[in-house]
Copies of this chain bind each other. A is one copy, B any other.
Amino acid sequence: MIKIGIIGGTGYTGVELLRLLAAHPQADLRVITSRGEAGKKVADLFPNLRGHVKLAFTEPDTKALAGCDVVFSATPNGVAMTHARELLKAGVKLIDLAADFRLKDPALWEKWYGVPHACPELLEEAVYGLPEVNREKIREARLVANPGCYPTAVQLGFLPLLENGLVDVQHLIADAKSGVSGAGRKAETHLLFSEAADTMKAYGVAGHRHWPEIRQGLEAVLGKSVGLTFVPHLTPMIRGIHATLYARLTLPGADLQSLYEQRYANEPFVDVMPAGSHPETRSVRVSNVCRIAVHRPQGGDTVVVLSVIDNLVKGAAGQAVQNMNILFGLDERAGLRQAGVLP
């Protein structure tokens, strides 16, 4: 059994992580910390976990965490980096579900997250935890930067095009729609039911923190700079991301369907749909799968890729568990076999 600690865990990625780990055959959940909820039972905050999680939140305490094999940090941005050095020194593996270790360049991090990075020397070492790209590096990592939700859906959708040099990489477009849980469990007016139901809006068109993350990921694969327009939208659903990707084909003759199928043939959590399909976000709700379809409307030179995930699973907690499974040599599917829940 793997001894597990969680820092934070009162947000949506936290409760989802708890739900997944509570059912994971090799997980031994030892510690969960929260400054705000210390002393409260997890199941009192999240009644769905009554009978599944017996732990109570405790005050953040690096010593208790240092006795774990792995610690998940499910806090707001900027917290994991204050714990990382000490945990790694104690021989604990760290999987950060926030953004602290996603960007390689400390200056870029500071620009987008507004504070200097607390341990820039770890940025290089941290492995970006997208298994479909970095599986071998994750296996050897001490510190995994779990990808953002939009970046997961967008990169998995674009990868086969970029890896095969098929499109104009200076003009990629990602029009992404997210359920409201993607914004977290924060008491902010614009996230209220009465504000976010029965309506739709774009946001962050001028610049969203996932834009540099996606670019960095695509550029790492491509080995050169990419141009990306990324427009996220807040959509009236709880979970789910639907990324609609557009690129101009420079090699129009390619058999895109085969290409996608081959690229992901051995991936346990990427499902390429039959030609002509339109994946729904609910088909992956509560599951760790990314479902993708590729289209070339009217046989023109624009390729359209549809990529859907559950933002809290493959876009956060599920991918973190997948990374844990890789880190510890477990079956990558352990604890993640849940089918999508429909309806």
Contacts and interface: CB of A to CB of B under 8 A. Distances in A.
Interface in A266-294: 271, 273, 276, 278-287, 289, 291
A282 to B, nearest CB: 4
A191 interface: yes
Interface in A299-323: 300, 302, 304, 306, 308, 312
Contact of A22 (B180, B207, B283, B339): B339
A200 B281 contact: yes
A342 interface: yes
B244 A202 contact: yes
B297 A229 contact: yes
Contacts of A206: 276, 295, 297-298
Nearest to A276: B206
A193 B202 CA distance: 17
B207 A181 contact: no
A192 B180 contact: yes
Given A171-B248, A229-B246, A286 B341 contact: yes
A252 interface: no
A187 B187 contact: yes
Contact of A51 (B207, B231, B271): B271
B200 A49 contact: no
Q: Which among A48, A173, A194, A230 has the greatest number of chain B C-beta atoms within 10 A? A: A194
A229 B278 CA distance: 16
Interface stretch (A99-107, A111-119, A154-162, A233-241): A233-241
A245 to B, nearest CB: 10
A327 to B, nearest CB: 24
Q: List the number of copies, as a whole number.
A: 4
Nearest to A306: B202
A83 interface: no
A76 to B, nearest CB: 15
A235 B238 contact: no
A50 interface: yes
Contacts of A171: 248, 302
A115 B276 CA distance: 24
Given A47-B283, A237-B236, A238-B198, A205 B339 contact: no
A37 interface: no
20 contacts: A15-B343, A19-B339, A47-B279, A48-B282, A48-B339, A48-B342, A52-B339, A179-B194, A187-B189, A191-B192, A191-B194, A193-B195, A197-B198, A199-B240, A199-B280, A199-B282, A200-B237, A202-B278, A230-B297, A286-B286
Interface of A: 12, 15, 19, 22-23, 46-52, 171, 173, 175, 177, 179-181, 185-189, 191-203, 205-207, 227, 229-231, 233, 235-240, 242, 244, 246, 248, 271, 273, 276, 278-287, 289, 291, 295, 297-298, 300, 302, 304, 306, 308, 312, 337-343
Given A198-B198, A201-B281, 4 more contacts: A47-B283, A192-B192, A199-B237, A229-B304
Pick the 7 closest A-B CB pairs, nearest first.
A48-B340, A199-B282, A193-B196, A201-B280, A194-B343, A180-B193, A48-B342
